[in-house]
């Protein structure tokens, strides 16, 4: 005999809600699910009328249901929100490239603008390249840290008021268990907050905080929403998997344990004498961090220096590794022969003659810039920040920061110190000879040859003044 819907609508029930145990029909389940999310949004005052909200879209069930529900509630209750999708491409072959196609489908279905940022563009690394360096044990540390900061970067580009993430009740309960097992008091207090973010940063909100994962799957199934269900190829080795397995076993015994764990995290009291780190901004990237240098910058520096495990583990271990690396670098520099040291120093000043034809020179109409230090013509035209001008009256190019002496040589304090250090500064005698020659010469010397006229004008732009 079919079971009637618990609401008394007269329809037959098609499902049993995991959260409450009520037997409901599809329409009543949709109404109850959406009504609970609306209650969560209004009670916590997550949004204000006219706000621009970026929905973190991965193509999975959580972000797809969040985008659908946010669009539905925005129209039904007249939130007045400007919704858009923000997706991060971690560079995981066989996983993220396929899920991004689902995100693009959601963009078309929900008529929301989509912004995609990649790890490769932001950090110069993909997750496939990072895993090749670090292995499959701690790769989720890199992905989680980089992804959180990438969302902040994307939100700043879109100029939104907040980021809506698809974290559900199961995710938050798992995070509480993980922080308890690791003894992380600071994150334990922060992970249950429905709004996270320090002052001056773009906050993140969790409209699905009290929605069970099973109910999200049911909603997507009966609504026939398009989502990507494949698990990340690197996820099986994640520490979160153990907390998830523990939570599922507990849920079989007591279905309300998910809400109980979240409530425990919300009401947990911490002794006053316990000092907790305060969230601020990183001194390097100016994004949210609880330390002077954020975790993303530490991990990225380790990758770039060939120390992929620099940011993995305790900060004292990372500091020791960095000190050892710097000591090796100093030792390597000390072991370089004197001639090689001079060559390296000249390369650092971009004054190596072997590379002058490729970079650091400008090819103008009839010849090469006399200074040899100007940027190329295209680079000068493309640069919008560099202030470049020419002094036609003196026929000197001012595009370079260096000053030209009377004998036509470029005055470079760094080069002078290097030549003096290695005993190669013999320009004083040549300058004296040049001065004697100038005194005996009655004609006014030419500052440039006829064939090289307007060579700097090709870079700086010739200035014509008409009267």
- In sequence order, what DSSP letters do the residues of 386-408 get, joined into one string? S---EETTTTEE-SSSSEE-TTS
The rounded distance, in Å, linking the Cα atoms of 151 and 171 is: 18
Indicate if the pLDDT at residue 152 is higher than 50: yes
Residue with the two structure tokens 């990649």: 118
Residue scoring higher pLDDT (131 or 328): 131
Tell whether 312 is covered by a domain.
no
Asked if 188 contacts 180 with a C-beta cutoff of 8 angstroms, the reply is yes
Longest distance between any two alpha carbons in the chain, whole Å? 120
pLDDT in tens, 122-150: 999 999 999 998 887 778 889 989 999 99
How many residues appear in the chain? 467
Rounded to 5 degrees, what are φ and ψ at 324?
A: -65, -40
351 and 255 housed in the same domain:
no
How many angstroms separate the Cα of 437 from the Cα of each of 406, 411, 441, 446?
Answer: 13, 21, 6, 14
Tell whether 245 is covered by a domain.
yes
pLDDT at residue 309, rounded to an integer: 79
Which DSSP helix (H) or strand (E) runs through 191?
none
Q: Which of 240, 268, 296 is the last residue of a domain?
A: 268
The rounded distance, in Å, linking the Cα atoms of 460 and 350 is: 20
Domain count within the chain: 2
Burial of residue 44 (CB within 10 Å: 0-12, 13-18, 19+) is middle
DSSP state of 444: P
Tell whether 31 is covered by a domain.
yes
pLDDT at residue 356, rounded to an integer: 43
Q: Tell me which residue range forms the domain holding 138.
A: 15-268
351 and 247 housed in the same domain:
no
The CATH number assigned to the domain holding 166 equals: 3.40.50.620
Q: Indicate the angle between helix axes 127-134 and 139-158, nearest 10 degrees.
A: 150
The rounded distance, in Å, linking the Cα atoms of 27 and 8 is: 12
97 and 218 housed in the same domain:
yes
The rounded distance, in Å, linking the Cα atoms of 382 and 377 is: 9
pLDDT at residue 69, rounded to an integer: 97
Tell whether 400 is covered by a domain.
yes
In this structure, is the dihedral angle defined by the CA atoms of residues 342, 345, 349 and 350, taken in order, positive or negative?
positive
Asked if 205 contacts 195 with a C-beta cutoff of 8 angstroms, the reply is yes
The rounded distance, in Å, linking the Cα atoms of 186 and 171 is: 18
The rounded distance, in Å, linking the Cα atoms of 55 and 57 is: 6
pLDDT at residue 240, rounded to an integer: 86
* Residue 55: closest CA among 112, 11, 130: 112
85 and 230 housed in the same domain:
yes
186 and 59 housed in the same domain:
yes
Residue with the two structure tokens 């006399």: 370
**Strand 288-289 with 280-281, pairing:** antiparallel
Q: Which of 268, 301, 316 is the last residue of a domain?
A: 268
* Residue 142: closest CA among 232, 230, 205: 232
The rounded distance, in Å, linking the Cα atoms of 447 and 428 is: 21
Indicate if the pLDDT at residue 188 is higher than 90: no
pLDDT in tens, 335-394: 766 556 556 665 655 544 444 444 444 443 344 454 444 444 444 444 444 444 444 444
Alpha-carbon dihedral 449, 451, 452, 455, rounded to 10 degrees: 150
239 and 365 housed in the same domain:
no
The rounded distance, in Å, linking the Cα atoms of 85 and 34 is: 20
Tell whether 283 is covered by a domain.
no
Please give the structure tokens belonging to residue 163: 């980021």
Asked if 301 contacts 124 with a C-beta cutoff of 8 angstroms, the reply is no
When the pLDDT of each residue in the chain is averaged and rounded to a whole number, the result is 77
Tell whether 238 is covered by a domain.
yes
| Cross-strand partners of 196 | 204
172 and 54 housed in the same domain:
yes
254 and 397 housed in the same domain:
no
Q: Which of 235, 268, 301 is the last residue of a domain?
A: 268
212 and 82 housed in the same domain:
yes
How many angstroms separate the Cα of 228 from the Cα of each of 98, 209, 295?
Answer: 8, 21, 29
Rounded to 5 degrees, what are φ and ψ at 53?
A: -120, 130
| Cross-strand partners of 85 | 55, 114
Tell whether 289 is covered by a domain.
no
pLDDT in tens, 393-417: 444 444 444 444 545 555 566 666 6
Indicate if the pLDDT at residue 233 is higher than 60: yes
Q: How far is CA 355 from the centre of its chain?
A: 33
User: What is the per-residue DSSP string for 334-362?
Assistant: HTS-HHHHHHHHHHHTT--GGGTTTSS--
Most confident of 162-171, 303-312, 323-332, 364-373: 162-171
pLDDT band at 421; cut points 50, 70, 90? low
The rounded distance, in Å, linking the Cα atoms of 451 and 370 is: 12
State mean pLDDT over 415-441: 53
Tell whether 368 is covered by a domain.
yes
């Amino acid at each position: 005999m079919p079971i009637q819907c618990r609401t008394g609508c007269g329809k037959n029930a098609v499902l049993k809600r995991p959260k409450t145990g009520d037997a409901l029909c599809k329409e009543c389940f949709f109404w109850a699910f959406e009504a609970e999310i609306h209650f969560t949004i209004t009670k916590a005052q997550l949004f204000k009328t006219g706000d621009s909200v970026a929905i973190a879209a991965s193509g999975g069930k959580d972000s797809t249901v969040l985008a659908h529900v946010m669009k539905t509630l925005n129209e039904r209750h007249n939130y007045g929100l400007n919704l858009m999708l923000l997706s991060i491409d971690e560079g995981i072959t066989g996983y993220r490239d396929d899920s991004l196609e689902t995100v693009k489908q959601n963009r078309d279905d929900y008529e929301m603008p989509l912004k995609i940022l990649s790890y490769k563009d932001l950090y110069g690394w993909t997750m496939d390249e990072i895993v090749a360096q670090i292995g499959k044990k701690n790769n989720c540390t890199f992905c989680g840290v980089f992804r959180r900061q990438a969302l902040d970067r994307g939100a700043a580009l879109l100029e939104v008021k907040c980021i809506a993430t698809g974290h559900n009740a199961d995710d938050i309960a798992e995070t509480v268990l993980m922080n308890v097992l690791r003894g992380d008091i600071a994150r334990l207090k922060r992970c249950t907050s429905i709004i996270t973010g320090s002052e001056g940063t773009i906050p993140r909100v969790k409209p699905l905080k009290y929605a069970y994962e099973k109910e999200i799957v049911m909603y997507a199934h009966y609504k026939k929403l398009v989502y990507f269900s494949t698990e990340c190829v690197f996820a099986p080795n994640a520490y979160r998997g153990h907390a998830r397995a523990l939570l599922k076993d507990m849920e079989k015994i007591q279905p309300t344990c998910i809400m109980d764990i979240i409530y425990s995290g919300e009401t947990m009291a911490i002794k006053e004498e316990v000092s907790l780190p305060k969230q601020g901004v990183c001194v390097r990237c100016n994004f949210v961090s609880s330390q002077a240098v954020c975790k993303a910058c530490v991990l990225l520096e380790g990758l770039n220096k060939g120390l992929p495990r620099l940011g993995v583990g305790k900060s004292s271990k990372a500091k020791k590794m960095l000190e050892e690396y710097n000591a090796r670098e100093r030792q390597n520099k000390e072991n370089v022969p004197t001639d090689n040291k001079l060559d390296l120093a000249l390369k650092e000043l971009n004054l190596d003659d072997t590379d002058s034809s490729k970079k650091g020179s400008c090819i103008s109409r009839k010849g090469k810039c006399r200074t040899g230090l100007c940027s190329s013509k295209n680079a000068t035209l493309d640069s919008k920040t560099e202030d470049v001008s020419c002094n036609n009256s003196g026929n000197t190019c001012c595009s370079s920061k260096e000053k030209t002496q009377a004998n036509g040589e470029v005055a470079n304090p760094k080069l002078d110190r290097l030549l003096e250090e290695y005993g190669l500064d013999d320009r004083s005698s040549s300058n004296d000879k040049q001065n004697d020659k100038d005194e005996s010469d009655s004609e006014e010397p030419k500052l440039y040859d006829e064939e090289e006229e307007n060579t700097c004008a090709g870079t700086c732009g010739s200035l014509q003044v008409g009267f």
